[in-house]
Chains A and B, each alone.
Chain A
Amino acid sequence: MSGRVATGADRADRPIRRRGVVGWFDPRGRRLGGWAFALNRLTGLGLVAYLYLHLGILSLLAAGPGSWDAFVDVALSPLVLGLDVVLIFGMLFHGLNGIRVSLVGLGYVTDRHRALFVALMVFGALVLAVAALRIFVK
């Protein structure tokens, strides 16, 4: 560690990131908070897509027991159960990172936000492991 203090000039030297989706994955100068931001947006978009897929599938309930119960059989296949684990990862990452973003955005734990991120992600990994076990081990 150099112990050098960051200055305004250092900030000015940093690359200007491109707007839009391409900018989320621009690796230049990107650190933990930047990757968390990119993954937060990716999981967010995935969850929005899932929300509307989920609402569409629920319309099978309006079609009666035959349609819905046939879907339940498909949903219990190993492939769909595996996708459920991916979905739970997305929920956990987005939700737990959202706690950090909200707290920091409101002016709390601004100096410890990296430690908070790591703690939340460790908690999320534990919950994901328990959820995966519960899904696959009957």
Chain B
Amino acid sequence: MAMRSDANERTGRDEPPAEPGGGFAGFFGQALSGAALLALLTLHMVAQHFLVKDGLRRYADVVEWLKNPVVVLLELGFLVFVTWHALLGVRAILFDFGFSARIERALTWLFVVAGIATVGYGTWLVWTIVNAA
């Protein structure tokens, strides 16, 4: 199967894209997390905003909503995929600047740490809200 990505689009040609900036793993990681996000983001937007009066829950309603473990699981899953997709995307953009391999390795580790910190923060926040009730 021919593997291509969006990188050919930076040439501006109206041709199918090819050669991912972050390698095949980077492209496939973005496609996979992107597919998960299509479902999770749609679910998040509908359940958290479009089905809610005024589009945002008040504090008491947030606490009540987060008592449902399925909601907590889905929101944390959403956070994991959106963080993965966001940081991998920023990494691909930075790699386009043509840094040395040493700096690229350092950037990769920086994004891994940032990703873990982001998901850790989200988990702490949910834990704090649920236990404050």
| Size of interface on B: residues with Cβ below 8 Å to A | 52
From A37, A64, A91, A107, B6 is in contact (CB under 8 Å) with: A37
- Nearest residue (CB) in A for B17 is A104
From B15, B37, B90, A33 is in contact (CB under 8 Å) with: B15
B10 contacts A by Cβ under 8 Å: yes
B86 touches A51 (CB 8 A): yes
Q: Smallest Cβ distance from A17 to chain B, in angstroms?
A: 6
| Size of interface on A: residues with Cβ below 8 Å to B | 56
B17 touches A47 (CB 8 A): no
B-chain residues with CB within 8 Å of residue A131 when the two chains form the complex? 50
A68 touches B90 (CB 8 A): no
B100 contacts A by Cβ under 8 Å: no
- Nearest residue (CB) in B for A32 is B14
B59 touches A65 (CB 8 A): yes
Task: Give the residue among B17, B62, B122, B125 with the most A Cβ atoms within 10 A.
Answer: B17
A-chain residues with CB within 8 Å of residue B62 when the two chains form the complex? 61, 68
Q: Smallest Cβ distance from B18 to chain A, in angstroms?
A: 8
Known contacts being A75-B56, A102-B35, A113-B16, is A34 close to B11, with CB within 8 Å?
A: yes
B13 touches A98 (CB 8 A): no
B69 contacts A by Cβ under 8 Å: no
B17 touches A101 (CB 8 A): yes
- Nearest residue (CB) in A for B35 is A102
B10 touches A37 (CB 8 A): yes
Tell me the bound Cα distance from A19 to B30 in angstroms.
Answer: 21
B108 contacts A by Cβ under 8 Å: no
- Nearest residue (CB) in B for A101 is B6
B93 touches A45 (CB 8 A): yes
18 further A-B contacts with Cβ under 8 Å, apart from A19-B96, A48-B87, are A11-B13, A20-B96, A30-B12, A51-B86, A52-B118, A55-B118, A55-B125, A61-B128, A62-B129, A68-B58, A75-B55, A99-B38, A105-B20, A105-B31, A106-B1, A106-B4, A110-B2, A110-B16
Provide a sorted-by-A list of 5 A–B residue pairs whose CB atoms are within 8 angstroms: A11-B13, A29-B11, A40-B9, A64-B132, A105-B4
